[in-house]
């Protein structure tokens, strides 16, 4: 083609493949085979050279990640390829120099097309094939069969595996409160939108049905649709046995359908390559506008009811293409849930009955949510349409995360020069938007900002995003309380007043404080007679605490941590207990930290708010705690010892932060306390390599106070405790308090002059009077501890 740069990227071929398990011609194709079939169609769609010759020209292949490799620990019940892009390439006779496996997320297909177009324009590639596929229906159908197929492939070769791409999409609070499933995350936003629009539950449900009813008509006419059934708005929005509630406000028909067998592929090349290979003009489509923007993290957003970053991406892509929304002939707005469509429609005034329609495929709930690859189908269909009607434009909006990552493409068959991405400035602006302050441990009166209810059989769990009345901070909490669930399911809870309480296993909400106290009674004061995982011995003013799990190397799981937290609460509250010793049962280990076997069993792992052993996160430790380390203090075990004021170790003790060996970090204080306890370079080595220190080394570097003969740590700790008990408990507490208050002050003079009430309290205490008097009378003081 004359008048256009030969490196200008152009889309020249598209293909789709699908099969339904209930069809007569069902073949049980793997994901690789579905993608290969779509790729063959894309090659043939070029109407150029022989497809075999064309395949040999492909220098780059890029695959969209399947669901079964999209999150850590995902399972492929029928096996999978170790290099999906090259497996597909092998099927079609391609031998590309480069293979890419994209990050997870529905934005992937459009993001890849934009990126690869830029690569072509920059001369980094000439002929590129992008594709994706899912065989989820087949995997579910055949996983339990005795003669199930094996889709495993060992291909090897170069692969640019970009990883999961999950950073920013989930955090510890969301995991702790079960807000990890897309249906729940989007429901939180959906209910926030309902509140913004001031609609009743019934009005909003009707609106969702009206929005998606036209989608079903498109799907019903699409031969690749997984659910080609036309339904009206009422049927979509009304819960029934078949249309069961998934998460308020979603019944099943309104959420993405992932049970599909579908594949799609797009072939791109430079205009020069298209000319050389004889691709006809009527097979070419151009990317006139594009944008890729990322929203703030979900719980940081000031408004959970919308994603302005997604809207901005659409606006910028249209501006780059030089067209307005009303000039588009076709749109495909990512439709995993109604709000993903409504978010764009709200801003651009698009109606549910827009004569153009808001989908070219039928949308994710009806055409099918083909994993991360849905928008590859939308691109294929849009390219087919713009080629058929030259001069008209189509837009594809591809969404990933929770309205988190939005990639937009504007297509037409009219030749257009390539324009490089211009998103850096807008993305910096988005990143600079104010973030909501979060409360990880909310306690007190609050209001409901938004919510959802998860339905699993007969079990219902409410998930609440709330705001504390005291300071407006946002928090997550759950509830299974009948009264609170009634508020969430029957009334209009948004703006309602609730009571929040933070617990080690998560935050909870109830209708009021009295109800919260009935659901979670305050812990009784004092020590219990016995514990399941802890031994407690009280002798005078000394408390000895033993982690009693020797068969597990005294590793801690939630029940053990709860007991230790309770014991130390009682210790710090009891005026007659002045010093505590913590040790481990047996001779092999003080504590091996987290019980990884417990975690591997699938049980939830959590720690009390005060941290491992009830110590590592404790805000105040006003009385001395001595660690008697017998054997290994590994990982969390060393973090516990670091949290103690004094450490006595026997000669066989070993100290290490070994978290990096199991893919974790020493997040319970080890990363903070160890560099303050030993020389920085040594701390770095221990943290980054898991290096173990022997007891003599630990003594040399100041990590422990004393080393004893093997088996003598507890006896030596008792001797050290006796020395502390010989002094004034009031003076000991005051000393600890002042050290804590001045710990962050670098200048010694400023630290000495730091204003504190502690000394004022001390000089009027009975212990001070007794100490001075006893000294003058040359007798042993009798401490009052008051």
HSE on the CB side for 333, CA within 13 Å? Answer: 30
Pair type for strands 497-503 and 506-510: antiparallel
Neighbours of 53 (CB within 10 A): 12
428 backbone dihedrals φ, ψ, rounded to 5°:
-65, -35
Residues 362 and 225: beta-carbon distance below 8 Å: yes
**Alpha carbon distances (Å) from 190 to 199, 205, 239, 338, 434:** 12, 10, 17, 8, 22
| Nearest-angstrom CA–CA distance, 571 and 621 | 10
- Name, in order, each residue with C-beta under 8 angstroms of 226's C-beta and a sequence gap of 6 or more: 18, 20, 137, 257, 259, 260, 261, 262, 366, 367, 368
DSSP state of 623: S
Q: Using CA atoms, how far apart are residues 235 and 215, in angstroms rounded to an integer? A: 13
The Cα 539–Cα 556 span in angstroms is 25
Preceding peptide of 249 cis, ω within 30°: yes
Report angle CA 585, 591, 593 to the nearest 5 degrees.
150
Residue 36: phi and psi, rounded to 5, are -65, -40
Beta strand extents in 611-653 (DSSP E only): 625-629, 632-634, 646-650
CB proximity list for 523: less than 8 A, separation 6 or greater = 566, 569
Cβ contact 343:403 at 8 Å = yes
For helices 766-777 and 729-741, angle between their N-to-C axes, nearest 10 degrees: 120
Give 463's strand partners. 452, 478
Question: Exposed, middle or buried, 495 (CB in 10 Å: 0-12/13-18/19+)?
Answer: exposed
Q: 298 is written with which tokens?
A: 């979900």
Task: Report how far apart the first and last C-alpha atoms of the chain are (Å, whole number).
Answer: 94
DSSP per position, 651-688: TT-EEE--GGGGT---TTTHHHHHHHHS-HHHHHHHHH
Neighbours of 672 (CB within 10 A): 14
Q: Which one of 126, 659, 697, 700 is the catalytic residue?
A: 659
CB 292 within 8 A of CB 425: no
Task: Note if 639 is an active site residue.
Answer: yes
Q: How many residues does the chain have?
A: 786
Residue 627 and residue 579 in contact, taking contact as beta carbons nearer than 8 Å? no
Could you give the CA distance from residue 91 to residue 133 in angstroms, rounded to a whole number?
Answer: 14
- Considering only CA atoms, which of 631, 614, 599, 619 is closest in space to residue 565? 614
Q: Which of 202, 639, 685, 741 is catalytic?
A: 639
Instruction: Find out whether 114 and 397 touch, Cβ atoms under 8 Å.
Output: no
Is residue 659 annotated as part of the catalytic site, yes or no? yes
624 CB-near residues (< 8 Å, 6+ apart): 578, 579, 580, 645, 646, 721, 724, 732, 736
Burial 480-490 (b: 16+ CB within 10 A, else e): ebeebbebbbe
CB atoms within 10 A of CB 583: 23
Catalytic residues: 639, 659
């Amino acid at each position: 083609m004359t008048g256009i740069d030969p490196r200008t990227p152009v889309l020249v071929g598209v293909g789709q493949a699908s099969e339904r398990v209930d069809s007569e011609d069902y073949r049980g194709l793997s994901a690789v085979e579905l993608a290969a079939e779509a790729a063959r169609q894309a090659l043939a769609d070029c109407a150029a050279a022989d497809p075999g010759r064309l395949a040999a020209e492909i220098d780059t292949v890029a695959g969209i990640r399947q669901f079964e490799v999209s999150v850590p620990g995902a399972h492929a019940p029928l096996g999978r390829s170790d290099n999906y892009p090259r497996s597909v390439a092998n099927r079609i006779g391609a031998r590309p120099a480069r293979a890419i496996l994209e990050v997870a997320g529905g934005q992937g297909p459009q993001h890849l097309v934009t990126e690869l177009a830029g690569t072509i324009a920059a001369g980094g590639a000439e002929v590129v094939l992008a594709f994706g596929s899912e065989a989820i229906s087949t995997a579910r159908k055949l996983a339990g069969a005795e003669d199930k197929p094996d889709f495993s492939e060992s291909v090897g070769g170069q692969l640019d595996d970009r990883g999961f791409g999950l950073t920013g999409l989930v955090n510890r609070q969301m995991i702790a409160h079960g807000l990890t499933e897309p249906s729940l995350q989007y429901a939180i936003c959906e209910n926030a939108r309902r509140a913004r629009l001031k609609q009743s539950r019934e009005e909003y449900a009707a609106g969702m049905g009206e929005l998606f009813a036209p989608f079903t008509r498109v799907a019903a006419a699409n031969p690749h649709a997984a659910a080609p059934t036309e339904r009206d708005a009422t049927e979509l929005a009304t819960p029934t046995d078949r249309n069961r509630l998934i998460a308020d406000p979603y019944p099943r028909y309104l959420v993405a359908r992932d049970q599909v067998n579908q594949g799609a592929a797009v072939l791109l090349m430079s205009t020069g390559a298209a000319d050389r290979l004889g691709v006809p003009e009527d097979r070419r489509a151009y990317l006139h506008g594009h944008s890729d923007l990322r929203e703030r993290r979900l719980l940081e957003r000031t408004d959970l009811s919308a994603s302005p970053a997604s809207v901005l991406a659409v606006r910028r892509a249209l501006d780059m293409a030089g067209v307005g929304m009303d000039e588009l002939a076709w749109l495909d707005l990512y439709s995993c849930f109604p709000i993903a469509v409504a978010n764009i429609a709200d801003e651009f005034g698009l109606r549910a009955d827009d004569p153009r329609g808001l989908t070219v495929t039928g949308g994710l709930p009806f055409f099918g949510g083909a994993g991360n690859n849905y928008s590859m189908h939308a691109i294929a269909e849009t390219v087919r349409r713009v080629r058929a009607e030259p001069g008209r434009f189509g837009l594809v909006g591809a969404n990933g995360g929770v309205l988190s990552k939005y990639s937009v493409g504007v297509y037409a068959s009219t030749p257009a020069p390539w324009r490089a991405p211009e998103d850096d400035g807008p993305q910096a602006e988005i990143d600079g938007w104010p973030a909501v302050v979060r409360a990880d441990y909310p306690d007190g009166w609050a209001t409901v900002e938004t919510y959802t209810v998860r339905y699993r059989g007969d079990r219902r769990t409410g998930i609440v995003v709330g705001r504390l009345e005291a300071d407006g901070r946002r928090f997550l909490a759950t509830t299974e309380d009948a009264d609170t669930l009634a508020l969430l399911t029957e009334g209009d809870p948004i703006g309602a007043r609730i009571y929040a309480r933070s617990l080690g296993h998560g935050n909870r909400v109830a209708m009021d404080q009295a109800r919260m106290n009935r659901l979670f009674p305050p812990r009784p004061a004092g020590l219990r007679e016995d514990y399941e995982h802890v031994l407690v011995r009280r002798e005078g003013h000394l408390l000895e605490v033993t982690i009693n799990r020797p068969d597990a190397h005294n590793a801690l799981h939630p029940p053990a941590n709860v007991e230790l937290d309770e014991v130390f609460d009682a210790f710090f509250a009891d005026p007659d207990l002045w010093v505590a010793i913590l040790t481990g049962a047996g001779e092999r280990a003080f504590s091996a930290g987290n019980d990884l076997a417990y975690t591997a069993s699938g049980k939830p792992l959590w720690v009390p708010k005060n941290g491992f052993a009830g110590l590592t996160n404790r805000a105040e430790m006003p009385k001395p705690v001595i660690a008697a380390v017998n054997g290994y203090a590994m990982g969390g075990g060393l973090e516990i010892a670091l949290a103690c004021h004094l450490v006595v170790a026997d000669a066989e003790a070993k100290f290490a932060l070994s978290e990096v060996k199991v893919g974790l970090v020493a997040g319970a204080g080890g990363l903070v306390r160890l560099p303050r306890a030993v020389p920085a370079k040594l701390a770095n080595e221990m943290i980054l390599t898991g290096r173990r220190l022997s007891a003599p080394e630990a003594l040399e570097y100041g990590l422990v106070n004393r080393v004893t003969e093997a088996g003598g740590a507890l006896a030596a700790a008792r001797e050290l405790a006796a020395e502390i008990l010989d002094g004034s408990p009031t003076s000991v507490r005051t000393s600890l308090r002042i050290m804590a208050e001045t710990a962050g002050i670098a200048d010694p003079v400023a630290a000495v002059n730091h204003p504190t009430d502690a000394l004022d309290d001390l000089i009027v205490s009975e212990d001070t009077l007794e100490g001075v008097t006893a000294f003058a009378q040359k007798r042993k003081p009798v401490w009052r501890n008051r």
